[in-house]
Amino acid sequence: MTTKNLLVELFVEELPPKALRKLGDAFAGVLLEQLNAQGLAAPDAVLTAYASPRRLAAHITAVAARAADKPVSQKLMPVSVGLDAAGHATPALLKKLQVLGADAAAVPGLQRAMDGKAESLFYNSTVQGATLADGLQKALTEAIARLPIPKVMTYQLERDCELPGWTSVSFVRPAHGLVALHGADVVPVRALGLQAGNTTHGHRFEAAVDPVVLQDADRYAATLARDGAVIASFAERKAEIARQLAAAAAKVGGGCRPIEDDALLDEVTALVERPNVLICEFEAQFLDVPQECLILTMKANQKYFPLLDAAGRLTNRFLVVSNISPADASAVIGGNERVVRPRLADAKFFFDQDRKKTLASRVAGLDKVVYHNKLGTQGERTERVARIATDIVGQLLTRALEGNDAGFFASVEEVAQAARLAKTDLLTDMVGEFPELQGIMGNYYARNDGLSDDVACAIEDHYKPRFAGDALPRNATGLVVALADKLETLVGLFGVGQLPTGDRDPFALRRHALGVVRMLIERNLPLNLNELLADTAAAFGDRITDASQALADFIDERLAGSLREQGFSAQEVDAVISQRPQRLGDVPRRLAAVRAFATLPEAPALAAANKRIGNILKKAPEVDAHVSEILLREPAERALHAALQDVLPKANAQFDAGDYTASLQTLAVLRAPVDAFFDGVMVNADEPDLRLNRQGLLKTLHVAMNRVADLSRLAT
């Protein structure tokens, strides 16, 4: 079967830039998937996706003009239904054959084969392979239907003399051209009211010719670049922009580099067809404004790339990715400099005005900002966070006095102050204009008010971690306030029934739960999770219902998912999490202990025994871990009891000291007496006292073996 390469291009008006890359990949991917399903594209066909501001395209190698015919065997019905006693076709069989385009002449050729317990009739035929025109039409229709379009537009096609009136079409943007080339041949397909051809359009202003004629599928990108002044490949355009940005920064000198922002780079790549990076500048006086404000306004509003010096400080130079390349770029440079100046002036004005009021003076204003209709205002929320945070400090101080983590210290006064001021920058002009700067501006304004570094950093850091991989708060004050803030959010929203459902999580509760997990584990805080949830719920009074159990399960699920992503096996994670450890800082050491235990030769037998013991004790839930030596009759049970008396003090001491690995390894010596016990002792003896005593012995063993983790989860 001979094949040629296929090109399909849909030419449209400017596509939404933030969605362009996804649209291009989806369009090309579905086309290949559908052609493969119809046998038109080879299994090893190579797909190249193209996406520019005004086009989605796909190049697919090794596509046939017609798919190969396929033999098909179709089950008709049981022999007893299709043939009468004389072996003649029944009316039911003839009707079924008629539906398939056959008649009574096909009956002798029907095959018999067992289908389950009954013998059935099968009709063998050959299905003619799809033509490329039909197959591509189906694939193109499916690709358009399955595009992840963020928002659909409805527009009307031009009047067609054969179809009176107007026809409405729904698509992401109005489409104006369709190309479908199999080698050099046009494939006669239609889509969105367009008939496929071999012409497209290049750059709006810099194309050498219009329309651009495509001679064959393989010269698509080269022809567009030469005649249309367009780099069709998203990846190539992105790489070219990155190259030009680096070259422009090097030209400025002084160790300058463009700010790293892959999302911005993707968006700009989706805005230009042939990039041209230009160097611009603004007045140095604007550098008195916090650089986060200037960077954000240049990136978000203008899609510029600010330049940082070797120390990471913002300079008064920035880079523009232009879509035109005039011989004299001064007008383009001057225009962009004029456009950015008012933006920076606004930022300076907001910064100057905001500093005229202290953060403390804004606290009362939080009482006028609704947080949640069932949970009150931001002012009420702030007071709850302050109470929760000071309670956490109290718990930490208690643990320190007990000798547990004495190195962690946070001032009650500074924690309360930071908690009460943490949300006040929401009332500033700067954060009102740029919500992304909440916390960051609070840090600047706190320093302007003469507050301590710890409080200023805590105001900024209490939002952390904001996303996967984000840094934790820098100091103890910020860590406590961040923990309190996230606990307040979780407990409050769970308490009013605002739980995440499916992929919907409008309050980012999954992210908050992971933040709590990370802070407790990575800072190894000596805090009990259930106590934290209970104390947090108490701060709400009777405003919420108790959902602590559901929330604890939710946090455990996030913890388990995070641990699996870190490379721990499902068995290891289940063994530890099933025990509901209350100090999450212990979890990494418990996991390490379980992993080390699993490598011991005794581990499989002890895990299996632990599972067996658990099943026995499920039928005797009232049994406690108590053993009467007088009732130990069999040598094996006396030996197990003696081994426990010898091993448990040492294992428990190691557990209490936090050496979980040593504790489990100490327990490993119990394998031999445990095996002997099950070989020589009948646990469910007829005598009640004897049975309860043996169950008590197993309960003692079960409790000891499962202090670190549920070892039965390791049994295969």
The Cα–Cα gap between 48 and 222 comes to 14
Tens digit of each residue's pLDDT (9 = 90 or more) over 121-176: 888 877 777 899 999 999 999 999 999 987 888 888 765 545 555 678 889 899 99
* Fold of domain 587-714: Isoleucyl-tRNA Synthetase; Domain 1 (1.10.730)
Burial readout 404-433 (b: 16 or more C-beta within 10 A, e: otherwise): ebeebebbeebbbbbbbbbbbbbbbbbbee
The Cα–Cα gap between 126 and 368 comes to 75
Q: Output the pLDDT for position 431.
A: 96
Which residues, other chains included, contact 235 with Cβ-Cβ below 8 Å and sequence gap of 6+? none
Greatest CA span in the chain, whole angstroms?
A: 105
Q: Long-range contacts for 219-227 (Cβ within 8 Å, ≥24 apart)?
A: 220/7, 220/9, 220/50, 220/57, 220/59, 220/181, 221/50, 221/59, 224/200, 227/202
Tens digit of each residue's pLDDT (9 = 90 or more) over 191-207: 998 999 999 999 999 99
Q: Output the pLDDT for position 47.
A: 96
CB 138, CB 34: distance < 8 Å: yes
Nearest Cα neighbor of 51 from 203, 196, 234 is: 234
The rounded radius of gyration (Å) of the Cα atoms in the chain is: 36
Residue whose pair of structure tokens reads 């986060």 in the numeric block: 292
Helix or strand or coil: residue 604? Answer: helix
Q: Output the pLDDT for position 407.
A: 55
The Cα–Cα gap between 645 and 470 comes to 48
Tens digit of each residue's pLDDT (9 = 90 or more) over 419-477: 999 999 999 999 999 999 999 999 999 999 999 999 999 999 999 999 888 999 999 99
Q: How far is CA 672 from the centre of its chain?
A: 47
Over 70: is that where the pLDDT of 567 sits? Answer: yes
* Fold of domain 361-567: Hypothetical protein af1432 (1.10.3210)
Token pair in block for residue 278: 């230009």
The DSSP secondary structure of 509-552, one letter per residue, reads: HHHHHHHHHHHHHHTT----HHHHHHHHHHTTTTSS---HHHHH
Helix or strand or coil: residue 428? Answer: coil
CB 126, CB 70: distance < 8 Å: yes
Helix or strand or coil: residue 169? Answer: strand
pLDDT band at 553 (very low <50, low <70, confident <90, very high): very high
Q: Is 185 exposed, middle or buried (0-12, 13-18, 19+ CB in 10 A)?
A: middle
Helix 509-522 and helix 548-565, axial crossing angle in degrees, nearest 10: 70
Residue whose pair of structure tokens reads 């559908």 in the numeric block: 34
Least confident residue range of 95-104, 159-168, 494-503: 159-168
∠ CA 448-450-454, nearest 5°, is 105
What would the mean pLDDT of 107-111 be, rounded to a whole number?
Answer: 83
Tens digit of each residue's pLDDT (9 = 90 or more) over 257-292: 999 999 999 999 999 999 999 999 999 999 999 999
CB 454, CB 355: distance < 8 Å: no
Nearest Cα neighbor of 534 from 491, 496, 573 is: 491
Q: Output the pLDDT for position 152.
A: 86
* Fold of domain 3-67+131-227: Alpha-Beta Plaits (3.30.70)
Give the DSSP letter of residue 501: B
Q: Could you tell me what percent of the chain has a pLDDT over 90?
A: 71
Question: Which contiguous run of DSSP H or E holds residue 174?
Answer: none
What would the mean pLDDT of 5-13 be, rounded to a whole number?
Answer: 96
Nearest Cα neighbor of 42 from 52, 32, 56, 57 is: 32
What would the mean pLDDT of 303-317 be, rounded to a whole number?
Answer: 95
CB 481, CB 422: distance < 8 Å: yes
Which residues, other chains included, contact 407 with Cβ-Cβ below 8 Å and sequence gap of 6+? none
What would the mean pLDDT of 108-122 be, rounded to a whole number?
Answer: 84
Tens digit of each residue's pLDDT (9 = 90 or more) over 614-660: 888 888 878 888 888 888 888 998 999 999 999 999 999 999 988 99
Q: Is 303 exposed, middle or buried (0-12, 13-18, 19+ CB in 10 A)?
A: middle
Which residues, other chains included, contact 613 with Cβ-Cβ below 8 Å and sequence gap of 6+? 698, 701, 702, 712
Q: Give alpha helix (H) positions in 1-116.
A: 20-37, 79-82, 91-99
**What's the residue count for the chain?**
716
What percent of the residues of the chain are helix, what percent strand, and what percent coil, each to the nearest 5? 55, 15, 30
The Cα–Cα gap between 551 and 356 comes to 42
pLDDT band at 405 (very low <50, low <70, confident <90, very high): low
Give the DSSP letter of residue 309: -
Tell me the pairing of strands 257-258 and 305-308: antiparallel
Task: Name the β-bridge partners of 215.
Answer: none
The Cα–Cα gap between 571 and 600 comes to 16
Tell me the pairing of strands 168-171 and 175-182: unpaired
Tens digit of each residue's pLDDT (9 = 90 or more) over 52-62: 999 999 999 99
Q: Output the pLDDT for position 680.
A: 85
Nearest Cα neighbor of 396 from 541, 139, 585, 599 is: 585
Phi, psi of 418 (to 5 degrees): -60, -40
The Cα–Cα gap between 705 and 648 comes to 9
Q: Give alpha helix (H) positions in 539-622.
A: 548-565, 570-577, 587-598, 603-618
Token pair in block for residue 138: 């189906």
Helix or strand or coil: residue 55? Answer: strand
Q: Output the pLDDT for position 583.
A: 92
Q: Output the pLDDT for position 89.
A: 86
Give the DSSP letter of residue 664: H
Token pair in block for residue 697: 């012995």
The domain locations on the chain are 3-67+131-227, 70-127, 234-354, 361-567, 587-714
Helix or strand or coil: residue 137? Answer: helix
Question: Which contiguous run of DSSP H or E holds residue 349?
Answer: helix 330-354
Q: What is the mean pLDDT of the chain?
A: 91
Least confident residue range of 26-30, 39-43, 157-161, 683-687: 157-161
Residue whose pair of structure tokens reads 């001979």 in the numeric block: 2
CB 231, CB 237: distance < 8 Å: yes
Which residues, other chains included, contact 36 with Cβ-Cβ below 8 Å and sequence gap of 6+? 43, 45
